[in-house]
Amino acid sequence: MKVVYASTPEQVEKIQELIQIFYTDVFPLYFTDEEIIEFEQLNVLQLSESSFDYFGTLKDAYQVITSLQTLCHILEGSHFNHHYEPLFYKNVETLNEFGLSFPFRFENFSISKHLKAENLSVYSRADNQMLV
């Protein structure tokens, strides 16, 4: 008999938080708002009820969290280079195995595609918040 522990609500919240980081911090670095809207329509990195079937255990949820964190780290950093390409594809494969669509190739995030910092996006986080 094998004991399996179910994923916790906190893990699901963490996965949702990391997905939001992709949409607010990572995607605006490489894609236009129109492209990001299309990603939403294509359910890129979107959780569904069936997603929970894929990562229903603690181990599975941690694998998804780790893959999302690793991809964020590779894509957000100034150290982006082809040295990380095998690691990129390994983590994309993990996400796809667990039912999270990430239909990108490493080349989609090349330095040449990196949008300039002065480009504004409705998806980017605000640099500050006004208190009322």
Does pLDDT of 131 surpass 50? Answer: no
Task: Report the C-alpha gap between 55 and 59 in whole angstroms.
Answer: 8
pLDDT > 70 in the chain, percent: 70
For the chain, what is the mean pLDDT? Answer: 82
Of 11-20, 22-31, 47-56, 101-110, the poorest mean pLDDT is in 47-56
Cβ neighbours around 70 below 10 Å, total:
16
User: What is the value of pTM for the model shown?
Assistant: 0.81
Q: What's the start-to-end Cα distance of the chain, in Å?
A: 58
Task: Report the C-alpha gap between 81 and 79 in whole angstroms.
Answer: 6
What is the pLDDT averaged over residues 18-42?
93
Does pLDDT of 5 surpass 80? Answer: no
